[in-house]
Amino acid sequence: MRLIADNLRITQKAIEIAVAEKDSLPLQAMAKLCAMAGADGIDINSGPLYRNPESRMAFMVEAVQEVTGLPLILDTSNPKALKAGLLACKTPVTLNGLSLEPSKLEHILPLAVAFQTEIVCYLLYPNGHVPPDSTERLNVAVSLYQKCIDAGVEPDRVIIDPVVVPLSWQDGLFQAREVLTVIKTLPELLGFPVRTIAGLSNLTAGAKNLTKKHLAQQTYLPMLAASGLSIILMNVLNAESVRVALMCRLFSQESIFTWEMVA
Amino acid sequence: MRLIADNLRITQKAIEIAVAEKDSLPLQAMAKLCAMAGADGIDINSGPLYRNPESRMAFMVEAVQEVTGLPLILDTSNPKALKAGLLACKTPVTLNGLSLEPSKLEHILPLAVAFQTEIVCYLLYPNGHVPPDSTERLNVAVSLYQKCIDAGVEPDRVIIDPVVVPLSWQDGLFQAREVLTVIKTLPELLGFPVRTIAGLSNLTAGAKNLTKKHLAQQTYLPMLAASGLSIILMNVLNAESVRVALMCRLFSQESIFTWEMVA
């Protein structure tokens, strides 16, 4: 299981201001902290970037690349920003992401093909809503995967995000289970070991009690891993969660175990 | 997922002395602590009880029953002790346990039939050794399950223990994964939602670093839960592990989630 930092997001005030003022230091400090914390990649979540999308995304990518060679995930619904980010990227890059929403199929899918990137595919309805259960998510997965293949994306460049929703939703516990079912079922359904990604922070969106929030995340994370998750998008600055993630990864290793391997 | 306390075991010096001296207080104190910690049942691990097996097991059962009505699991390889424990038990009881070892098939299986108890079935070879992988464990499961049915045990009284081994074994990481596979596969293999049990403490047997030991247990526990484990045998006096176990259980509930439900 690979660990991708979700910390570099524009919803954090310091990042928002840094991007608006083109001040690279806060971005670089955050990127460096993520790398030191054990991230295998960094998700650059710029938001939709309504103003100056090209220059702002290029700025973010360039700032981060000055301090780390980690693979980047470009996380925005703005195709102009995505393209500018792609042009600025020196390392392998992943687009985050595609869904059955018509505008995304029209504008984002061609970028993934043209730049031969990996692409995160969200299991959402064409209207952007979350399907009610695993069966509906799997139906969406088949459609969306087929659209990728038809457009010319290589199967091993597809990464599927079953969409973790907040536990606080009315059917939050049910949805959490359905996500596990989707992750377990996808490889057989698509006929190859398709990779999956999940955003852990979303599970506890709105939680006020930090202890409970971390307990929920640190319990659900091994459940995702045991279901076969390939990539976890998470707050890598929570040291305890990272220790759990690395322990999950250890359980998947082929090597001989020693207690020295445990973080 | 039900939580069974593994704390009442004769390998603990205080328990050993209490049993030898027929001093019920240490047993009752431990049983009470387990009940208060959230245990759904208590495993009475008396060891083989070479001397006075009947009176010692009856003493343990009676002492515990004076302070709690929790279901008991009688955990000994000594059939005489098991029978004495069964006769002393007032609440539903589980025998722990059966395997393909000839002496157990001969002496323990008839007790489960005669007393209509639940019975834990260990996936071990007839010589008591641990099978090397999930396929071999599943072969054992089919044989052992059939022996139970042939003897007259009701299917829903069978509880299968895939046998968690220490991570420190040469193939400890592999075995940990194989145990998850067995738990996931058994219901389909046997054609009904057969219950499973696993002993969590065994995973970290020999570990000296408590922090690492707890991390390994608290990561593996949700993996077991996500694989469909029915019953976890664990140290319920580790409050953090119990919080993780209760969070696992919460993820399996049908109810509407609220943060007040998190321990």
| All domains of chain B in start order, with CATH | 2-261 (3.20.20.20)
For the residues A158-186, what does the mean pLDDT come to?
Answer: 97
Q: What is the pLDDT of residue B263?
A: 86
Residue B232: other Cβ atoms inside 10 A: 25
Cβ(B243)–Cβ(B263) under 8 Å?
yes
Run of H or E including A41 = strand A41-45
Q: What is the pLDDT of residue B17?
A: 95
For the residues A85-102, what does the mean pLDDT come to?
Answer: 95
Residue B62 tokens, joined: 């009676």
For the residues A83-99, what does the mean pLDDT come to?
Answer: 95
Residue B182 pLDDT greater than 90, yes or no: yes
Confidence of residue B48 (pLDDT cuts 50, 70, 90): confident
For the residues B7-18, what does the mean pLDDT come to?
Answer: 94
What is the DSSP-derived secondary structure letter of residue A130?
P
Q: How far apart are CA A44 and CA B100, in angstroms?
A: 56
Confidence of residue A142 (pLDDT cuts 50, 70, 90): very high
For the residues A82-102, what does the mean pLDDT come to?
Answer: 95
pTM of the model: 0.96
Tell if the CB–CB gap between A215 and B259 is shorter than 8 Å: no
Average pLDDT, rounded, for chain B: 96
Confidence of residue B92 (pLDDT cuts 50, 70, 90): confident
Residue A111 pLDDT greater than 90, yes or no: yes
Half-sphere exposure of residue A144: CA atoms within 13 angstroms, side-chain side: 30
Disruptive mutation site among A212, A218, A219 for chain B (greatest number of B CBs within 10 Å): A219
Summarised one tens digit per residue, pLDDT across range B97-145 is: 999 999 999 999 999 999 999 999 999 999 999 999 999 999 999 999 9
- Cβ contacts of B146 within 8 Å, gap of 6 or more: none
Residue B14 tokens, joined: 């205080």
Disruptive mutation site among A244, A251, A258, A261 for chain B (greatest number of B CBs within 10 Å): A251
Confidence of residue B177 (pLDDT cuts 50, 70, 90): very high
Chain centre distance of CA B49: 18
Confidence of residue A110 (pLDDT cuts 50, 70, 90): very high
Nearest to B262 among A176, A215, A258 (CB): A215
The pair phi, psi for residue B5, each rounded to 5°, is -75, 130
Nearest chain A residue (CA) to B166: A257
Q: What residues of chain B lie within 8 A of the CB of A212, using their CB?
A: 259, 262
Confidence of residue A263 (pLDDT cuts 50, 70, 90): confident
ipTM over 0.90: yes
What is the DSSP-derived secondary structure letter of residue A50?
-
For the residues A75-99, what does the mean pLDDT come to?
Answer: 95
Kindly report the nearest CA distance between residue B45 and chain A, in angstroms. 28
Confidence of residue A91 (pLDDT cuts 50, 70, 90): confident
Got the DSSP string for chain B?
-EEEE---BTTSHHHHHHHHTT-HHHHHHHHHHHHHHT-SEEEEE-----SSHHHHHHHHHHHHHTT----EEEE-S-HHHHHHHHHH--S-EEEEEE-S-HHHHHHTHHHHHHTT-EEEEE---TTSPPPSSHHHHHHHHHHHHHHHHHHT--GGGEEEE-----TTSTTHHHHHHHHHHHHHHHHHHHTS--EEEEESGGGGTT---HHHHHHHHHHHHHHHHHHT--EEEE-TT-HHHHHHHHHHHHHT--SPP-GGG--
Would strands B158-161 and B195-199 be described as parallel, antiparallel, or unpaired? parallel
Summarised one tens digit per residue, pLDDT across range A184-205 is: 999 999 999 999 999 999 999 9
Q: What residues of chain A lie within 8 A of the CB of B209, using their CB?
A: 259, 262
